Amino acid sequence: ETGVTQSPTHLIKTRGQQVTLRCSSQSGHNTVSWYQQALGQGPQFIFQYYREEENGRGNFPPRFSGLQFPNYSSELNVNALELDDSALYLCASSLAALAGGYEQYFGPGTRLTVT
Amino acid sequence: ELKVEQNPLFLSMQEGKNYTIYCNYSTTSDRLYWYRQDPGKSLESLFVLLSNGAVKQEGRLMASLDTKARLSTLHITAAVHDLSATYFCAVGNFNKFYFGSGTKLNVKP
Protein backbone atom coordinates (compact mmCIF):
# COMPACT_ATOMS: atom_id res chain seq x y z
CA GLU A 1 0.00 0.00 0.00
CA THR A 2 1.49 3.32 -1.06
CA GLY A 3 0.97 6.50 0.89
CA VAL A 4 -0.01 9.96 -0.33
CA THR A 5 2.61 11.55 -2.55
CA GLN A 6 2.93 15.13 -3.77
CA SER A 7 5.03 16.83 -6.39
CA PRO A 8 7.04 18.90 -6.62
CA THR A 9 8.57 19.16 -3.16
CA HIS A 10 9.57 22.78 -3.54
CA LEU A 11 8.66 25.43 -6.08
CA ILE A 12 9.57 29.06 -6.62
CA LYS A 13 7.31 31.22 -8.78
CA THR A 14 6.99 34.88 -9.61
CA ARG A 15 3.96 36.99 -8.75
CA GLY A 16 1.36 36.79 -11.53
CA GLN A 17 2.43 33.35 -12.73
CA GLN A 18 0.37 30.17 -12.61
CA VAL A 19 1.27 26.95 -10.79
CA THR A 20 0.06 23.35 -10.77
CA LEU A 21 0.63 21.07 -7.82
CA ARG A 22 0.00 17.34 -7.96
CA CYS A 23 -1.15 14.72 -5.50
CA SER A 24 -1.47 10.95 -5.72
CA SER A 25 -3.95 9.47 -3.27
CA GLN A 26 -3.30 6.55 -1.02
CA SER A 27 -4.29 3.32 -2.74
CA GLY A 28 -8.05 2.75 -2.63
CA HIS A 29 -8.94 6.29 -1.49
CA ASN A 30 -11.54 8.17 -3.54
CA THR A 31 -11.51 11.58 -1.84
CA VAL A 32 -8.83 14.26 -1.89
CA SER A 33 -8.72 17.48 0.10
CA TRP A 34 -6.28 20.35 -0.37
CA TYR A 35 -5.01 22.68 2.33
CA GLN A 36 -2.86 25.80 2.48
CA GLN A 37 -0.62 26.16 5.53
CA ALA A 38 1.12 29.49 5.97
CA LEU A 39 4.19 29.57 8.19
CA GLY A 40 3.25 29.25 11.85
CA GLN A 41 -0.44 28.76 11.09
CA GLY A 42 -2.88 25.89 10.99
CA PRO A 43 -3.87 24.42 7.64
CA GLN A 44 -6.69 26.20 5.82
CA PHE A 45 -9.14 24.07 3.86
CA ILE A 46 -9.15 24.95 0.16
CA PHE A 47 -11.48 22.30 -1.32
CA GLN A 48 -12.30 18.64 -1.51
CA TYR A 49 -12.84 16.37 -4.50
CA TYR A 50 -14.90 13.20 -4.45
CA ARG A 51 -15.19 11.05 -7.55
CA GLU A 52 -13.91 13.84 -9.79
CA GLU A 53 -16.39 16.45 -8.52
CA GLU A 54 -15.70 19.37 -6.16
CA ASN A 55 -17.43 18.38 -2.94
CA GLY A 56 -16.79 21.29 -0.58
CA ARG A 57 -14.84 24.54 -0.68
CA GLY A 58 -13.27 26.87 1.86
CA ASN A 59 -12.89 30.64 1.61
CA PHE A 60 -10.51 30.75 -1.32
CA PRO A 61 -10.98 32.80 -4.49
CA PRO A 62 -11.77 31.18 -7.87
CA ARG A 63 -8.16 31.48 -8.98
CA PHE A 64 -7.65 28.39 -6.82
CA SER A 65 -9.04 25.51 -8.82
CA GLY A 66 -8.63 21.78 -8.90
CA LEU A 67 -9.13 18.54 -10.74
CA GLN A 68 -9.49 14.94 -9.74
CA PHE A 69 -8.78 12.21 -12.26
CA PRO A 70 -10.36 8.77 -12.68
CA ASN A 71 -7.46 7.20 -10.80
CA TYR A 72 -8.27 9.64 -7.93
CA SER A 73 -5.04 11.60 -8.29
CA SER A 74 -5.54 15.34 -8.11
CA GLU A 75 -4.17 18.71 -9.15
CA LEU A 76 -4.35 22.10 -7.49
CA ASN A 77 -4.02 25.04 -9.86
CA VAL A 78 -3.40 28.58 -8.72
CA ASN A 79 -3.59 31.43 -11.22
CA ALA A 80 -2.28 34.98 -10.89
CA LEU A 81 -0.02 34.13 -7.98
CA GLU A 82 0.25 36.62 -5.13
CA LEU A 83 2.96 36.94 -2.51
CA ASP A 84 0.50 35.73 0.16
CA ASP A 85 0.13 32.45 -1.71
CA SER A 86 3.56 31.45 -0.37
CA ALA A 87 2.82 28.49 1.88
CA LEU A 88 3.01 24.75 2.34
CA TYR A 89 0.28 23.07 0.28
CA LEU A 90 -0.93 19.78 1.67
CA CYS A 91 -3.20 17.23 0.14
CA ALA A 92 -4.97 14.57 2.13
CA SER A 93 -6.76 11.48 0.91
CA SER A 94 -9.51 9.47 2.52
CA LEU A 95 -12.02 6.78 1.71
CA ALA A 96 -15.32 8.53 2.01
CA ALA A 97 -18.90 8.70 1.01
CA LEU A 98 -20.54 12.09 0.70
CA ALA A 99 -20.28 12.61 4.46
CA GLY A 100 -16.77 13.92 3.92
CA GLY A 101 -14.81 11.06 5.27
CA TYR A 102 -13.25 10.13 8.53
CA GLU A 103 -9.54 9.61 8.70
CA GLN A 104 -7.43 11.67 6.35
CA TYR A 105 -3.89 10.78 5.37
CA PHE A 106 -1.67 13.71 4.51
CA GLY A 107 1.04 13.91 1.91
CA PRO A 108 4.44 15.48 2.59
CA GLY A 109 3.41 18.80 1.06
CA THR A 110 4.68 21.19 -1.59
CA ARG A 111 6.47 24.30 -0.38
CA LEU A 112 5.54 27.18 -2.72
CA THR A 113 7.45 30.44 -2.61
CA VAL A 114 6.14 33.40 -4.58
CA THR A 115 8.62 36.23 -5.17
CA GLU B 1 -18.02 30.11 9.58
CA LEU B 2 -16.97 27.49 12.10
CA LYS B 3 -14.18 28.66 14.42
CA VAL B 4 -11.72 26.37 16.16
CA GLU B 5 -9.70 27.67 19.09
CA GLN B 6 -6.86 25.87 20.78
CA ASN B 7 -5.15 26.74 23.98
CA PRO B 8 -2.53 27.13 25.00
CA LEU B 9 -0.75 28.13 21.80
CA PHE B 10 2.64 27.43 23.37
CA LEU B 11 3.44 24.94 26.08
CA SER B 12 6.79 24.31 27.66
CA MET B 13 6.89 21.47 30.15
CA GLN B 14 9.30 19.21 31.96
CA GLU B 15 9.60 15.53 31.23
CA GLY B 16 7.41 13.45 33.48
CA LYS B 17 4.71 16.09 33.92
CA ASN B 18 1.07 15.92 32.82
CA TYR B 19 -0.77 18.54 30.85
CA THR B 20 -3.92 19.10 28.78
CA ILE B 21 -4.45 20.92 25.49
CA TYR B 22 -7.94 22.27 24.87
CA CYS B 23 -9.83 22.60 21.61
CA ASN B 24 -13.09 24.56 21.44
CA TYR B 25 -15.22 24.88 18.34
CA SER B 26 -18.12 27.16 17.58
CA THR B 27 -20.83 25.06 15.92
CA THR B 28 -22.05 21.51 15.74
CA SER B 29 -19.67 19.04 14.19
CA ASP B 30 -19.83 15.36 13.47
CA ARG B 31 -16.16 14.56 13.92
CA LEU B 32 -13.00 15.86 15.48
CA TYR B 33 -9.39 15.11 14.62
CA TRP B 34 -6.06 15.50 16.36
CA TYR B 35 -2.83 15.73 14.39
CA ARG B 36 0.84 16.04 15.17
CA GLN B 37 3.24 18.04 13.02
CA ASP B 38 7.01 18.02 13.39
CA PRO B 39 8.99 21.02 12.05
CA GLY B 40 9.09 21.04 8.26
CA LYS B 41 6.99 17.88 8.06
CA SER B 42 3.46 16.96 7.14
CA LEU B 43 0.61 16.09 9.48
CA GLU B 44 0.40 12.77 11.26
CA SER B 45 -3.05 11.58 12.28
CA LEU B 46 -3.35 10.84 16.01
CA PHE B 47 -7.05 10.43 16.75
CA VAL B 48 -10.46 10.65 15.11
CA LEU B 49 -13.36 11.19 17.51
CA LEU B 50 -16.84 10.62 16.15
CA SER B 51 -19.30 10.75 19.02
CA ASN B 52 -20.05 12.47 22.29
CA GLY B 53 -18.07 10.98 25.12
CA ALA B 54 -15.56 9.32 22.81
CA VAL B 55 -12.20 8.68 24.41
CA LYS B 56 -9.15 7.29 22.64
CA GLN B 57 -5.69 6.60 23.98
CA GLU B 58 -2.37 5.89 22.33
CA GLY B 59 0.69 5.68 24.50
CA ARG B 60 1.03 8.85 26.58
CA LEU B 61 -1.71 10.69 24.69
CA MET B 62 -5.43 10.52 25.39
CA ALA B 63 -8.10 12.45 23.51
CA SER B 64 -11.72 13.01 24.49
CA LEU B 65 -14.75 14.69 22.97
CA ASP B 66 -17.69 16.49 24.56
CA THR B 67 -19.99 17.53 21.73
CA LYS B 68 -22.42 19.30 24.05
CA ALA B 69 -19.68 21.61 25.31
CA ARG B 70 -18.05 21.66 21.86
CA LEU B 71 -14.79 20.77 23.52
CA SER B 72 -12.08 18.26 22.91
CA THR B 73 -9.03 17.69 25.07
CA LEU B 74 -5.68 16.10 24.40
CA HIS B 75 -4.12 14.92 27.64
CA ILE B 76 -0.42 14.22 27.90
CA THR B 77 0.71 11.85 30.63
CA ALA B 78 4.30 11.78 31.88
CA ALA B 79 5.63 13.76 28.94
CA VAL B 80 8.83 12.73 27.19
CA HIS B 81 11.05 14.80 24.90
CA ASP B 82 9.90 12.84 21.82
CA LEU B 83 6.44 14.37 22.20
CA SER B 84 7.82 17.82 21.31
CA ALA B 85 5.88 18.94 18.21
CA THR B 86 2.94 21.10 17.18
CA TYR B 87 -0.48 19.57 17.82
CA PHE B 88 -3.53 20.57 15.84
CA CYS B 89 -7.17 19.82 16.35
CA ALA B 90 -9.50 19.95 13.37
CA VAL B 91 -13.25 19.82 13.09
CA GLY B 92 -15.20 18.28 10.23
CA ASN B 93 -18.47 19.92 9.27
CA PHE B 94 -20.16 18.29 6.30
CA ASN B 95 -17.53 18.46 3.56
CA LYS B 96 -15.40 21.19 5.08
CA PHE B 97 -12.60 20.98 7.59
CA TYR B 98 -11.45 23.63 10.03
CA PHE B 99 -8.14 23.57 11.88
CA GLY B 100 -7.10 25.29 15.07
CA SER B 101 -3.95 27.41 15.19
CA GLY B 102 -1.98 24.65 16.83
CA THR B 103 -0.27 24.14 20.18
CA LYS B 104 3.50 24.13 20.04
CA LEU B 105 4.70 21.73 22.71
CA ASN B 106 8.27 21.74 23.97
CA VAL B 107 9.17 19.02 26.46
CA LYS B 108 12.40 19.76 28.25
CA PRO B 109 14.60 16.81 29.19
Q: How far apart are CA B43 and CA B87, in angstroms?
A: 9
Q: Which of A33-42, A101-110, B21-30 has the lowest mean pLDDT?
A: A101-110
Q: What are the tens digits of pLDDT across the range A69-115? A: 998 899 999 999 999 999 999 999 987 654 445 778 899 999 999 99
Residues A42, B97: C-beta atoms closer than 8 Å: no
pLDDT of residue A51: 86
Element (H, E) at B60: none
Listed residue (B57, B7, B63, B60) closest to B31, CA to CA: B63
- Helix, strand, or coil here: B83? helix
Q: How far apart are CA B69 and CA B83, in angstroms?
A: 27
- What is the overall mean pLDDT for chain A? 91
How would residue B8 be classed by pLDDT, with cut points 50, 70 and 90? very high
- What is the overall mean pLDDT for chain B? 92
**CA A37, B42, A98 angle in degrees (round to 5)?**
75
Residues A105, B45: C-beta atoms closer than 8 Å: yes
pLDDT of residue A97: 55
**Residue numbers of A between 35 and 94 with CB closer than 8 Å to B:** 35, 41-45, 48, 50, 55-59, 90, 92
Evaluate the CA torsion angle B39, B34, A86, A84 in order and state its sign: negative
Residues A105, B101: C-beta atoms closer than 8 Å: no
Query: What single-letter amino acid sits at B2?
Result: L
Cβ contacts of residue A97 below 8 Å, gap of 6+? none
Q: Please give the residue of chain A at the shortest CA–CA distance from B49.
A: A102
Q: What percent of chain B shows pLDDT beyond 90?
A: 77
pLDDT of residue A2: 65
CB-closest option in B35, B42, B99 to A108: B42
Q: Are B4 and B98 in contact (CB under 8 A)?
A: yes
Q: Are B105 and B87 in contact (CB under 8 A)?
A: yes
